A and B are shown apart, each in its own frame.
Chain A
Amino acid sequence: MDHGPAVKLGVDHAAKRKTRLGIWMFISYTIVYGIFVAIGVANYEAMSNIVFADLNLAVTYGFGLIVLAIILGLIYNWRCTSIEKEMNKEEKS
């Protein structure tokens, strides 16, 4: 019984490097997210300190986590596209 991909996919020589990049970006974001949770648990009052444009740490950090996810996503896509171009060049030619 075939239970492979719904569409036929070519060989992706870049898969390993992309996976490694993904793991590093995941770890980076997890650390930033973990620090946010840790501040909340260990010293939630620090969250009320004004840190940016009259906004407190909680709001700045919260919005920052959302913006960081978008920025990391864009960087990841840009790097993955470069890696794919480089590694899958032979396949195309």
Chain B
Amino acid sequence: MIYGVSYLAIALFVLFVLIVLGLSFYFGSKTKSASGYYAAGGTIHWAVNGIAFAGDYLSAASFLGICGMIAFVGYDGFLYSIGYLAGWVVALFLVAEPMKRLGKFTFTDALDSKFNSKAIQLTAAISTLIVSIFYLIPQMVGAGTLVEPLLGLDHWVGVVIVGAVVIFIVATAGMTSTTYVQFIKGGLLIIFSTLLTIYILNNGLNLNPDAKNQEFIQPMTLTADNMQGFTPISSLDAQDVSMVKMEKEGIYRWFTKNGDQFEEAMTVTKTSDGGKLFNGAAKEEGKFYQVGTLDKIIQDGVEVESTGKTGPLEFLSTINSSDMARYVKVLFDDGDNKVTAYVKTVTPGKEMLIPGLKFKIGKGATPLSKINFISLMLALFLGTASLPHILIRYYTVPSQRDARKSTIVAIAAIGFFYVLTMFMGLGAASNGVLNMEDGNMSAPLMAKAFGVGLFAIISAIAFATILGTVSGLIVASSGAIAHDLVDRYLGKQLTDKAKVKAGKIAAACVGVVAIILGIIFKGMNVSFLVGWAFAVAASANLPAILMLLFWKKTTAKGIAASIIVGIISAIGIIMTGPSISKQFFRTEGLHGLDSPAIISFTLALLTLVVVSLLTQKDNATKKAD
């Protein structure tokens, strides 16, 4: 095992869950009305709501995904931080106050406020469900990913634990308990991420980053004169890398050949009999090291072994002028065995601190890769203000002014956290803590290097992050089913009490669906899936929200058509694109576009305009009525 079970982390997680359950019981006893269940009675203080926004928003993708991506590909991971935060500008300047003014429990209420249209009620509710489920999948997958190494439990057990706790939270007290869970979690995440960043800066940069709690194992470098008992067995070229297989004491390891030197690679070999070997041995033997360091440190123009304590700007400028030892994935077959090798690649620090290692916009870029980049940045910018679980939080505060102020608190808190992701990610990349098999664990593993206590707290917060975000998503979904579909679209005219009951049943059903999907989608990349959720949300919901607010000719049919086109085009492009095709069908896909927003958002917007212009008589009839 690359890292073992932390009993302190388990204890803290259990403590956090007990606190959350206690809160749920407390608020559950007070939640009797539909307004209390779906919108916390509109009584939450703006400052609490602002931090709860941060709790909702800083999901597994933000904390685990972005830090991991920065650790592996540098600045390209930080682009997500920039895009996610920029999305809040759309929410603050265009959406916050009108949403508060127009809606009651769900964002469908706001869209339908002028029309009372069955088509809007149906399409907006479906859109809420689809976006929420797209967002739920990575959260549940993240839950399983965390549980596996930390608690030593199977992936599905983690998914079931998180699902069960969240169903209990939401079904007990709805939005009130969800808000306070988000508030606590959002606050803790920011406080302890700050602490981790302070540790990283105090520790500075070091070529041999032995931390208090973790011995750093330098991967072997062999020379023709000193082979350390290894005997070359065979060699091959894979993805322009020369790989050499060597044997010592019956264990086979892979090295890369650079001139007269052989550098040890980290390998995971799937053997033909279904077994898995880590650097040629069983996982328990600990041969698969944590890696990722600086290869050369230049501080103030001088090459040094270590920098000592650094300030934040000095930390970044030193990395910019130094060289990083990254490990890049290379895949090849060795007879019947399938080998995934992570080979040392020295990357100048200045390349780590500009875009390009993941998103091909520089060297080797094609027009399509550039369009993919623009489309992703567009989805991140436009997606935030159209996420249903974020929009419903505007109904939990008393006034439009509170909606505005809580958004500004959220921007400040989330913005501060996203600045920290740069330090946590690069800290993990340079302190020899990366598990090449799982980038999502980079921030928790960085914490572990500084002490089991910090690791346990950070891990417990990571669990809490998932609990919080899933709670918000399930509240949004239950509102879409019970309030939008059953009560309004089907016209069941539920009593206040029945509406709460329907919401609780819907929450339990959505929770079970989330558990099942979390198990099915095991192994898919968390940040990647969230990127899709943003693209679908931006395409399906944002044209409708913006045009309703800013274009008087918008009609109910225009809104409904735009939502349908947004959903179908976004999901259609994702499903026929290269990622899904490679993942499930082992084909290249029908096109090369991974991020659909640039097309699907535009199509949805055009649809709204055209259909609205064609159905102007509806608005005229409505006015006459």
Residues of A participating in the B interface, judged by any CB pair closer than 8 Å: 1-7, 9, 12, 15, 18-19, 22-23, 25-26, 29-30, 33, 36-37, 40-41, 44-45, 47-48, 50, 53-56, 58-59, 62-63, 65-67, 69-70, 72-74, 76-77, 80-81, 84
Pairwise interchain contact B320-A5, C-beta atoms closer than 8 A: no
Pairwise interchain contact A54-B313, C-beta atoms closer than 8 A: yes
Which A residues touch B98, using CB under 8 A?
19
Pairwise interchain contact B353-A48, C-beta atoms closer than 8 A: yes
Which B residues touch A44, using CB under 8 A?
354-356, 361-362
Q: Smallest distance from the beta carbon of A21 to chain B beta carbons, Å?
A: 8
Which B residues touch A12, using CB under 8 A?
101, 400
Is B86 part of the contact surface with A, judged by Cβ < 8 Å? yes
* CB-CB nearest in chain B for A4: B104
**Bound form: Cα–Cα A49–B549 in Å:** 41
Which A residues touch B549, using CB under 8 A?
19
Which B residues touch A74, using CB under 8 A?
408
Residues from 371 to 405 in B contacting A, C-beta threshold 8 Å: 373-374, 377, 381, 395-396, 398-401, 404-405
Which B residues touch A73, using CB under 8 A?
89, 92, 407-408, 411-412
Which A residues touch B370, using CB under 8 A?
41
Closest 9 CB pairs of A and B: A54-B317, A7-B42, A22-B93, A26-B93, A6-B39, A47-B354, A44-B362, A6-B42, A73-B408
Which B residues touch A40, using CB under 8 A?
355, 361, 373
Q: Smallest distance from the beta carbon of A59 to chain B beta carbons, Å?
A: 6
Q: Smallest distance from the beta carbon of B367 to chain A beta carbons, Å?
A: 10
Pairwise interchain contact A69-B415, C-beta atoms closer than 8 A: yes
**Bound form: Cα–Cα A7–B43 in Å:** 9
* CB-CB nearest in chain A for B318: A54
Residues from 469 to 497 in B contacting A, C-beta threshold 8 Å: 487-488, 493
Residues from 535 to 555 in B contacting A, C-beta threshold 8 Å: 549-550
* CB-CB nearest in chain B for A43: B362
* CB-CB nearest in chain A for B110: A3
* CB-CB nearest in chain B for A33: B86
Is B41 part of the contact surface with A, judged by Cβ < 8 Å? yes
Given contacts A54-B320, A56-B350, whether A65 and B85 have CB atoms under 8 Å apart is yes
Which A residues touch B350, using CB under 8 A?
48, 56
Q: Smallest distance from the beta carbon of B314 to chain A beta carbons, Å?
A: 8
Count B interface residues, CB 8 Å. 70
Which A residues touch B374, using CB under 8 A?
37, 41
Pairwise interchain contact B35-A76, C-beta atoms closer than 8 A: no
* CB-CB nearest in chain A for B401: A84
Pairwise interchain contact B85-A69, C-beta atoms closer than 8 A: yes
Pairwise interchain contact A18-B97, C-beta atoms closer than 8 A: yes
Residue-wise interface mask of B (323-342) relative to A, using a CB-CB cutoff of 8 A (1 in contact, 0 not): 00000000000000000000
Is B262 part of the contact surface with A, judged by Cβ < 8 Å? no
Which B residues touch A5, using CB under 8 A?
42, 100-104, 395
**Bound form: Cα–Cα A54–B113 in Å:** 52
Q: Smallest distance from the beta carbon of B625 to chain A beta carbons, Å?
A: 17
Partner of B109 from the list A3, A19, A36, A77 (CB cut-off 8 Å) is A3
Which A residues touch B105, using CB under 8 A?
6
Which A residues touch B415, using CB under 8 A?
66-67, 69-70
Is B112 part of the contact surface with A, judged by Cβ < 8 Å? yes
Which B residues touch A81, using CB under 8 A?
401
Pairwise interchain contact A58-B488, C-beta atoms closer than 8 A: no
Which A residues touch B408, using CB under 8 A?
70, 73-74, 76-77
Residues from 546 to 580 in B contacting A, C-beta threshold 8 Å: 549-550
**Bound form: Cα–Cα A62–B104 in Å:** 36
* CB-CB nearest in chain A for B367: A41
**Bound form: Cα–Cα A36–B79 in Å:** 11
